Amino acid sequence: MKLRKTLLIILALVLFSSLSGCGNKKQVVESSNKKVEVAIDSKITEYSPLMSSIPGIPLTANYKSKIKQDNIKFHWITEEGTFLVWNKKSGKTRILGNDIKINNEKIYWAINSNEKLKKIPFKIYLKIENEHSSKVICESSIQIEQNKKNWFTIKK
């Protein structure tokens, strides 16, 4: 009887801990007794490089915290495509790569229309890190799907 209760408690704890990480794209982390929450936001949910006046999907780090911005870096990682920055006034873009650390909260994700994707759907990850120690303060991800050739949708 005592063994059965112990097994039930262990089973309940394992089940609770495995379910507690499911279902939320925002991740909340306690950092130095401060609650830090981050999400990846975009003003658009669909994008095609062939039919667009913008160079890619605009992605913005949306976080609520009292962390000092001068002490953090935004670490963006994409499984497919590349990140770039865009100067709207000049119309010029600069390709940054698929694994970057920058100070900008906003970047663009793009794909070369001639490039064949290896993985569909794929994810884009954002980690807010301490600039000096590279310790992850909080992180989030989004999923990008391609329903038609050169037509991308953000899965929410």
All structural domains of the chain, each given as residue ranges with its CATH number in brackets, are: 24-155 (2.60.40)
CA distance 79 to 29: 24
Q: What is the pLDDT of residue 15?
A: 36
Are 111 and 79 within 8 A, CB to CB? no
| C-alpha to C-alpha distance for 139 and 137, rounded to whole angstroms | 7
Q: Determine the pLDDT at residue 105.
A: 82
Strand (E) or helix (H) holding 8 = helix 2-19
At residue 150, the pLDDT reads 84
What is the rounded radius of gyration, in angstroms, for the C-alpha atoms of the chain? 19
pLDDT at 27: 41
Residue-wise pLDDT tens for the chain (156 aa)? 555 554 444 444 433 333 333 333 444 444 444 566 889 999 999 999 887 789 999 999 998 766 666 689 999 999 999 999 999 999 999 999 999 999 888 999 998 767 788 888 999 999 999 988 999 999 999 999 998 888 999 987
The enclosing H or E element of 19 equals: helix 2-19
Give the pLDDT score at 98: 95
